Structure 1
C-alpha cells in the first residue's frame, strides 16, 4: 500500500534516527525556554531560589543563563527567599502546628540560607510555640478519650515530637491538654 493510497493520504510517522546529530538534542534550552520554566514554577507555587535553580539544572539550562535569569527575577521581586521563608513559617506553623525546629529543617531542605531562615523563624516566640503545641494536644486528646492515661500521654507526646516540639514543651502541652480534657494524672492530683 503506497502512502497516497492510505486513508487520509498520510505517510507513517518516522522515528528519529538512533545515531548521528539528529538523534541528539545537543542544544541546551535557551533563555526564553528557561524563563518559561521559571514562570511556570512560580505560577504553581512560591519557590526558593535554590529550588528554581535545581529545576533549571534538571532541564539542562546552562548555569550562566540560570544565574542571569534568577538574578533578574530577584531584582523584580519574583524570587524573594526572605518573603518565601516568612510565608512558609507563618503557614506551616498556623496550619500544621509545626515547631521552629521542624520549620528550620524544612527551610534548609528548600535551600533557604540559615540567616534568612533564622530571621523568618523569629516570628514564632516561645509562647506561640507552647500555645500551638497545647492546641494540637487538646485536639488529639479528644480523639483518645477512653484510653489509659499513660498511653494517651505517650501518643500525644509522640505526635508533638514528630511536629518538632522539644520534650519539655511537648510534656507541658500534653499535661495541660489532658487536664483541660478533664483527666487528672494517675496518682497526682491536679493543682487548683
Structure 2
C-alpha cells in the first residue's frame, strides 16, 4: 500500500507516478524493473520513491490493484448471478476473462503478472490486499474452486506463452470447459 506521503501529493504528481509505473510494469516484469529506472524517468530522488512506497513490490502491487481485476472474485460474482450453475457460469467467465485480457488495454500487465508470478509474490499480494481468507460463503467449494483456479491460471499463462489471440484463448477455454463437464477422453472422442 502506498505510504501516506504518496496520497498527500497533488493529483498531477500522483498521476505522473502512476503513468510511469504502468509503463514500466507493462514493459517489464517485477523482476526486471528497478527503482533506478523509475526515479530517473520521473526526475525524482531515489529517497523520494521510498517516501511514497516501501519498496518496488509495493509500487507494483498498487498498479496491479489499479489496473487488474480480481479474477477470482469475478468468477464468484458470476456464479452467484447464475444461481451457482457452475458450467453456465464458467462459460460466461471465459468470455469475461477474454475481455479482460484482450480488450482492456492491460494485456501486457496481465502477461507480466501471469508469466512471472511466484508463490512468494502471491503471499505478499495477500498481505497487501488483506485477503488471507476466502469468502466464507464459498468455503464448502474450496477444493473445487482450487482445482478450477489451477486450470484457468494455467490456461491464461499458456495464452501468453503461446501468444494466443482472443479466439485461440476461447477455443482452448471451451475445450477445457468441455473436459470439466464431460471428462477427458484420451482416445480423442471428446
Is the TM-score greater than 0.5? Answer: no
Q: Using CA pairs below 8 Å that are at least 6 residues apart, which structure has the higher relative contact order? A: 2
Q: Which has the larger radius of gyration?
A: 1
With structure 2 as the length reference, what TM-score do the two structures score?
A: 0.32
Whichever structure has more helix as a proportion of its residues is 2
